[in-house]
Structure 1
Amino acid sequence: MKKSIIIVGAGPGVGMETARKFGKQNYKVGLIRRGKENLAIMEEELAQEGIETFSATADASDPKEISEAVQALGEKMAGIDVLFYNVPGPLGKAYVPVTEVSTELLTEFLTMRVLSALSSAQAAIPYLKASKGSLLFTSGQSDRSPFPYTAAIGAPQAALRLLAEHLRDELKPDDIFVGYLPLDNPPLYSDPAKEKERTDLPEGFALKERVIAENVAEIIFNLNRDRDVFEKPVKATTNL
């Protein structure tokens, strides 16, 4: 019987590469993202590679909607072995001094990074208890370091890290693995054309070293397989 993974925040970078990696390892892949048209394109691309996919549209700004989407896919896929939460929040408008961070912006990040992460985990837990599966979360290094202009991102990431630690401790008796992957920076898409078209990064965003989405997917797969550490930092792997 095939195992299954649900990816919440199934975008064209880490989400797509993770779907591809697990799919090629004979997993059924459930995709959750808010854009129906982009979701259909992603499904078609994976189907052409022989990967069995299921999908649901939901917006991470609505935790209840995310929870319902996870439950719906859990039923369609006859179980969940891995729940992977990969919602970055609106990065394009996030890089501002902390003195200019509005309560609305911080609330948006807290909802998408923390509240919907918790609601998706809670929806998946009954299935994960049955499968003795995994909960995996991506985050960033600003969860512990006050890099300039990352307060709106970092404070919610710090909350996500602590939340994941609580989940790890509470779910250990059920043999559910919880993994937390802080990334050095927003991952570089494997497809140069898609990277060039992205709109989720601030204007002028440029780094000499970047994390690569395909490499992140490989690390995620290995962490789920090995279940050996809670926290697995993902370092930049390329010079640009």
Structure 2
Amino acid sequence: MTGSVIITGAGPGVSGSLARLLAREGHPVGLVGADERAVGDLAADLADAGARVGSRLADLTDAEATHAAVTGLAAELGPVDVLHFNPSAFREKDPLELTAAELLEDVALGVGALLTVVRAARPHLREGSRITVTGSMAADEPWHRAASLGVQKAGVRNLVHSIDATLRDDGIRAVSVTVRGALSREGAFTPDRVAAAIRAALDQPVGEWRTEIPYSG
């Protein structure tokens, strides 16, 4: 791969680790996120390490702004070899506290925004391009006190299957890496270790491609 990487939902955790990992391999990196400080700090870190980097601020639930951000970065940095989708909404409410409107709001970020991102990037994807998503065990083992998160992670994993089926005849594949543990500063679930698992998923043999890969450390 010699093209660019676009990270959506960019921040200091797994997405930041993945950005640094792929930048070290020589890829230009584009960052899209809503947190000005988080995006700016990551962009500065990458630039200081010698990477070519671009960034855009956008609320990923704003389809127009997100489309402009992704297409702008692709035009600036070149064909997209890796498109990574990272965001989700954490709202500590159980099913009796969570309203339907709040659930839909959260799903708009954690699931619906993936559609916006992929549609924007599609003209800049090519044979061999890969779409990756940070998944979670919440898809299978939701915590009832954050009911919307499980719905988001189950939904985005399902959507990845459909995206892969839609694009695979063009040589573009999609995969969700299900993180089966809580992120931590040490051990198997550090952001760097999870990012390495996502990076490894890019190298799957096409004939044995899996659209979901569990990461259990």
Whether the TM-score (by the shorter chain) exceeds 0.5 is: yes
| 1:38 match | 38
After superposition, the C-alpha distances for 1:40-68 in whole angstroms (9 at most, x for unaligned) are 22111111212221111111222332122
What letter is aligned with 2:50?
G
1:44 and 1:189 map into 2 onto residues whose CA distance is 22
| 1:10 match | 10
After superposition, the C-alpha distances for 1:153-178 in whole angstroms (9 at most, x for unaligned) are 11122221211111111111111011
Instruction: Quote how far apart the aligned CAs of 1:218 are.
Output: 0.6
Q: CA RMSD in A?
A: 1.9
After superposition, the C-alpha distances for 1:5-56 in whole angstroms (9 at most, x for unaligned) are 1000111011110011000111111111112333222111111212221111
| Counterpart mapping for 1:130-169 below 5 A | 130-169=126-165
| Counterpart mapping for 1:50-65 below 5 A | 50-65=50-65
Instruction: Quote how far apart the aligned CAs of 1:82 are.
Output: 0.8
Query: Is 1:115 aligned with 2:112?
Result: yes
TM-score with structure 1 length normalisation?
Answer: 0.82
| 1:222 match | 200
| 2:69 match | 69
| 2:190 match | 212
| 1:96 match | 93
Residues 161/61 of structure 1: CA separation in 2 closer, same or farther (3 Å cut): same
Residues 147/37 of structure 1: CA separation in 2 closer, same or farther (3 Å cut): closer
2:80 and 2:200 map into 1 onto residues whose CA distance is 18
1:133 and 1:42 map into 2 onto residues whose CA distance is 23
Which portions of structure 1, spanning 4 or more consecutive aligned residues, are displaced by more than 6 angstroms? none
Q: Which runs of 5+ in 1 are unaligned?
A: 191-208
Instruction: Quote how far apart the aligned CAs of 1:180 are.
Output: 0.7
TM-score with structure 2 length normalisation?
Answer: 0.90
Instruction: Quote how far apart the aligned CAs of 1:184 are.
Output: 2.4
Contact map agreement 1:34 1:59 (CA 8 A) in 2:
yes
2:127 and 2:69 map into 1 onto residues whose CA distance is 19
Instruction: Quote how far apart the aligned CAs of 1:112 are.
Output: 0.4
Aligned residue among 97, 100, 105 for 2:102 = 105
1:102 and 1:210 map into 2 onto residues whose CA distance is 35
Q: Which runs of 5+ in 2 are unaligned?
A: none
2:97 and 2:13 map into 1 onto residues whose CA distance is 29
Instruction: Quote how far apart the aligned CAs of 1:186 are.
Output: 4.7
What letter is aligned with 2:137?
Q
Residues 111/120 of structure 1: CA separation in 2 closer, same or farther (3 Å cut): same
Residues 184/71 of structure 1: CA separation in 2 closer, same or farther (3 Å cut): same
2:15 and 2:42 map into 1 onto residues whose CA distance is 10
